[in-house]
Every structure is written in structure tokens, then in C-alpha cells.
Chains A and B, each alone.
Chain A
């Protein structure tokens, strides 16, 4: 097995007392001494700082970048205004999902952020399509999330206060040692809270992170709370709530395919699996549904779901689940028949018992995005 990679903030994580674990080939902080539960609650109450430098950062330059990316991703890339970002999916010819990603229009190039576990595959995929991806290896990526994120970041970088949800912009930050770094900032995240993602040169990452941690609202947050935060926010995780065998419609991500790329649209189809993916939009037999289990026991990934307390054949499966600290109880996402109405009860088989679970709308918490 290859040695685990370390982000530019590895030493800082260790100094902060983080518990480091292997994740997608990287050695990452899963929690700090505060613990997953309090890290989660702190993020929803104030501001949490996450090291997400393991994620792939990719630049697509060249005049064909926009048209080329639209051949791989059913998003409206051509209609994405400069200084804006949107969510998209790499699809495969079978109509499944290869990865999900963020696409930013930075004027003379596109900036992509992809999942760590899929980065090598995504880059090969972009390369094979002739898009000459430039992989960014000398920059860290941070996420600052929570209702106090703007106030904390704006003390270091005043310009961010003027950004709206899904805006992208560049800012200069002057380090305490007098050096200067260009920050690539987006107003987005993966927690359901207002916040920012900040790409910056690796050699300034620790100083900038320390400057953020010096802000009274900001605490370091590990991958454990990142997962419970995104689960409560109803945000799917690649490899769990979607994968190569799950279509955009079945993953509940049909919304990411805009009218212009759908049947009858100006740039209809033209991406892998379009002939399977487009007819299924709005008609999928399965969907990603929210579940609130009765009682306190978490219902986790892989748990099978049944229509009744006694029925023999499962009708679905939990794809992500656990304890929601802000909800104060268990929550889950599941692949289930799309036609089951909200409020309906299904049954999760847990340790030989059938636990009732109510189909509930997502997100489980109210997002605080600054629109």
C-alpha cells in the first residue's frame, strides 16, 4: 500500500491534538479533543474550520474548456457567469455517477473541486477527453462554516462580506511575516451553513489557519463532524449516497441537470449516459429519501428497509445514517421507492428488530446560506 499523503496542515492538526485517520489515501483529522458531537454543534452555533486539502483542485484552461466539460458533465457550464460556481456530476455511459464536483468560472479558466477518492480517476477522465487538466498540488483547501464564518473571515479578508452563496472571488491576504498570498474563495460548503471554501498556497496555509483559529468564533473541526453536518443538511456523499451504479435521478440530483441540457433544451444531452439519464428525470422508480428513525438508535449505511414490520423482501437500503447532534436524534438517507409519500413509515432491520422510520423531507436542519 502506498504511504498516506499529508496535507500542508498535518503538523498543525497533530499539535492541536487531532486524532488522525486514513481517509481516501490521506492522513486526516477525524476529530479534535472537543469531540465530534461538540465540534458539530460548535459549527452550527459559531464557525468551524475544516482542512479539506485532500480534495482535488483542478484548473481547466484553454478555449475549449467550457464545451469540453459539458461533454462530461450535464450542467450549464456555458451559462455560468464569471465569478460564480455551481454543482455538477461526471456521468458514465451506463447512466451512473462517476463523481460530483464544484465548477467555478474564473474568467480565463474553470476551477474544479473534486472528491479526494475520485481525483485520480477524474483527472484521467478529463485528460482522456483532451481537456488538459492542470492539477493544483501546491495549494491547501480550507472550509470555514457556520453563522459566524463571515464575521471571522472578514476580519482577515474584508472583501468576503460582499459575496453571496456560490460566488467565487480572489483576495490578497497579507501574512503576519509580511508575505502575501492569493486566496481563491467561494461562498459555499458542505454543512448546510453559510460559509466559505478557501484555496491558498501551501506555504501560507498554516499561518492563515492559525490566524483564523485566533478568531474567537473559530474552532478546528474534523471529518467526523463534517459527515454528521452534511448528513443533517441532506447533502449526499459520493461512494455512499451515489456511485457508478446510481443515476442522477435515483440519487435525487436531477435538479443539477438544468433545462438547457435536458430533452428539448438548446444543448440537450451530449454527455455520457444522456440517453438513459434524461428520460429518467422526474420518472425514477427510486429516489434518495430522508428518514427519521423512531427512538434513539442510529440507523447506519447498509441497513435494509422493509415496507412493514413483517414483510420478507426489502424495499430499500440506508445509504448514509447516524446520529444528528443538532436534530438530537438519529437521521438517515436511503434509497427507496420514489412514490412512497412523505410521512409514510418504513421499517429498518437493526440487530434482528424492525425499527419504524418515517420518510421525512430533507434537509433535516434549516440551511443558513446567504443568497
Chain B
């Protein structure tokens, strides 16, 4: 089941990993995305660490690691087609992370909670 962060990321648990992307709301707020810099596979990251740079036509912003863990895969296709994020934010995953403490998403918002956040 999908969960959401206050930083407008969606989190999809798959086995012992979490797939992470940004929400359609976030992609609309960013505007047309023109550049994405992804973390290196194998990198160990802390929760809240800025690990993705997204540049839109308007500005640069960061995506943070939702939990501490190891990056196990990144969506290389986004580097060549950053506009995919605007076209279908839920399909344009950024990275997979293997949490250091196992997959536990109880502390994150569900769909209803996220909809309430963005009002």
C-alpha cells in the first residue's frame, strides 16, 4: 500500500525495499522538470539526507531519503527523460532503498492523510 511523506514523496514497499518517487502534486508545483541527478547505487544514506536534485524550468529542489538505508537501484531513464515526472509522477520512480531497520512505513501518511496535507 502506498504511503506518503511530508516532502511529497510516494513510498511503495516491495519485499525488503521501498520504491520512492514524487507525487503528482509535487510535480505540478515544480513545473516542467528538466534535470534530475540521482544518487549512486550502493550509497548508504541517512533519513532526511538530500540525495536527489530536481531542476525544473523555475528552480532547483532536493528530494530526501525517507528512511536510513542503502540505495539499491535508481531510475536511469529519468536522466534522459526528466519530463517523465510531469507526464506520470506515479510511474516515474527515482530510487529503491533498502531500509537499515527493515520496511516499516507505519509513521508515514496514507492517501487520505496526504490529500488532507495538500488540501
Contact = CB atoms under 8 A, between A and B. Distances in A.
Interface residues of B, number: 14
A298 B55 contact: yes
Interface stretch (A31-39, A132-140, A180-188): A31-39
Contacts of B64: none
B34 A35 contact: no
Given A298-B60, A300-B60, A36 B55 contact: no
At the interface, is chain B mostly helix, strand, loop or mixed? mixed
Contact of B57 (A297, A323, A351): A323
Contact of A322 (B37, B57, B79, B82): B57
A38 B53 CA distance: 22
At the interface, is chain A mostly helix, strand, loop or mixed? mixed
Contacts of A36: 31-32, 57-58
A37 B58 CA distance: 10
A296 interface: yes
Contact of A224 (B31, B34, B53): B31
A224 B30 CA distance: 12
A297 B57 CA distance: 11
A2 B58 CA distance: 26
B55 A31 contact: no
A296 B35 contact: yes
Contact of B35 (A37, A228, A297): A297
B34 A323 contact: yes
Contacts of A297: 35, 37, 53, 55
Interface of A: 31, 35-38, 224, 228, 296-298, 300, 322-323, 325, 330, 351
Given A37-B32, A224-B57, A224-B58, 4 more contacts: A296-B35, A298-B55, A298-B60, A323-B34
21 contacts: A35-B32, A35-B86, A36-B32, A36-B58, A37-B31, A37-B32, A224-B57, A224-B58, A228-B57, A296-B34, A296-B35, A296-B79, A297-B37, A297-B55, A298-B35, A298-B55, A298-B60, A323-B34, A323-B55, A323-B57, A351-B53
Closest 4 pairs (CB-CB, A-B): A37-B32, A323-B34, A36-B57, A296-B35
Interface of B: 31-32, 34-35, 37, 53, 55, 57-58, 60, 79, 82-83, 86
